[in-house]
Amino acid sequence: IRDSTVLVTGGAGFIGSHLVEALTPHNEVRVLDDFTTGDRTHLPDDVTVIEGDIRDPIALQQAARGVDVIFHHAALVSVERSVDAPRQSNRTNLEASLLVLEQARQEDARVVVASSAAVYGHPEELPVSETTPTNPTSPYGVQKLALDQYTRLYEELYDLPTVALRYFNAYGPRQRGPYSGVISTFLEQARAGEPITVEGDGEQSRDFVHVSDVVRANLRAATTDAVGEAFNIGTGQRTTILELAEIVRDATGSSSPIVHRDARPGDIRHSGADTTKATRELEFGARIDLESGIRSLVDGG
């Protein structure tokens, strides 16, 4: 998209900051972030930063005034924390998201929201398509599913152009912290020469999608005619956690041993995206396979 005024909520976070970087050369970009996990140093200079919480209607109103598109990436991303404190995560992931949708309605702005493969829970079929039954196994998944459904409803009821992107396991530079995902954990362990900790037997599998592909999906969603829809955003390739451990070891040249720990309670066994719909309607296809994505992380990010 070009020559637009856009708001990225959670724009200083992992996915948000990469999106901001892609948007800034051709658009006027605003970021709303409370910087609890986001990082100012990830933001280009020519971005307007509003420091605030998305639960704060005043901050949101200020940030959204006059925008053409809102990319909604602010969230409490920890699945475990949503299990411990479901109401707290509901307030940010769902209630505040509704504020974002309401604000978009006010401004007549397009909205692209970050949904999740968590909406499928333990999937009934693999790979999962958008018509696979949704059975979230965590409050986080329920919240993302409700957001996903509200997004569709806002198109139906109020004619607002909305798109929900169901991310599978996103990875890439700047992903770090306690909820950052298995790839950044394994890379840190391999670099430090510490044991790579595989939880359970390691035969569980995921669809790892590079953040630059996630960003491209967002840019497509910003202009598509296929509104009121949800799309799986993954690569269509599944990798087991044991295979991942080997890939990370090879890419880093590390001699870290692979050790096994207890499996995570409630861990999803297999997750993989059918991306036919995104290919057909968004002309989206992931470009970075896992080996090259990890190699570039090792070389640069």
Could you give the residue numbers annotated as active site? 140
Of 118, 128, 211, 278, the one binding ligand UD2 (CB under 6 A) is 118
Of 5, 132, 185, 212, the one binding ligand UD2 (CB under 6 A) is 185
Residue of 147, 72, 73 whose CA lies nearest to 110:
72
Nearest distance from residue 138's CB to ligand UD2, in Å? Answer: 8
Of 198, 222, 248, 286, the one binding ligand UD2 (CB under 6 A) is 198
Nearest distance from residue 77's CB to ligand UD2, in Å? Answer: 5
Span of 90-98, 116-124, 217-225, 230-238 interacting with ligand UD2 by CB under 6 A: 116-124
How long, in residues, is the chain? Answer: 301
Q: What is the 3-state secondary structure (H, E, C) of 7-57?
A: EEECCCCHHHHHHHHHHCCCCEEEEEECCCCCCHHHCCCCCEEEECCCCCH
> What does DSSP say about strands 48-51 and 28-33: parallel, antiparallel, or unpaired?
parallel
Cβ distance to ligand UD2 smaller for residue 155 or 188 = 188
The SS3 of residue 155 is: helix
d(CA 169, CA 185): 14
Cβ distance to ligand UD2 smaller for residue 264 or 280 = 264
Which helix (H) or strand (E) segment is 270 a member of?
none
Span of 29-37, 157-165, 191-199, 221-229 interacting with ligand UD2 by CB under 6 A: 191-199
Subset of residues 152 to 171 that bind ligand UD2, contact rule: CB under 6 A: 169-170
| Contact partners, residue 144, CB within 8 Å, separation at least 6 | 93, 115, 116, 118, 119, 136
Q: Does 15 bind ligand UD2 (CB under 6 A)?
A: no
Span of 9-17, 112-120, 215-223, 279-287 interacting with ligand UD2 by CB under 6 A: 112-120
| Contact pattern for ligand UD2 over residues 206 through 245, marking x by CB under 6 A | x----------------------------------x----
Cα first-last separation, the chain: 26
Q: Does 182 bind ligand UD2 (CB under 6 A)?
A: yes
Span of 31-39, 56-64, 181-189, 220-228 interacting with ligand UD2 by CB under 6 A: 181-189
Which helix (H) or strand (E) segment is 104 a member of?
helix 96-107
- Single-letter residue type at 20: V
Nearest distance from residue 126's CB to ligand UD2, in Å? Answer: 13
Cβ distance to ligand UD2 smaller for residue 101 or 182 = 182
Of 51, 267, 283, 291, the one binding ligand UD2 (CB under 6 A) is 267
Subset of residues 58 to 77 that bind ligand UD2, contact rule: CB under 6 A: 77
Residue of 221, 206, 203 whose CA lies nearest to 168:
206
Nearest distance from residue 121's CB to ligand UD2, in Å? Answer: 8
Residue of 28, 96, 93 whose CA lies nearest to 60:
96
* Burial group, residue 263, by CB count within 10 angstroms (0-12, 13-18, 19+): middle
φ/ψ (deg, to 5) at 252: -95, -10
Report which residue's Cβ sits closest to ligand UD2.
Answer: 181
Residues of this chain that interact with ligand UD2 (CB under 6 A) are: 77, 79, 116-118, 169-170, 181-182, 185, 197-199, 204, 206, 241, 264, 267-268, 271
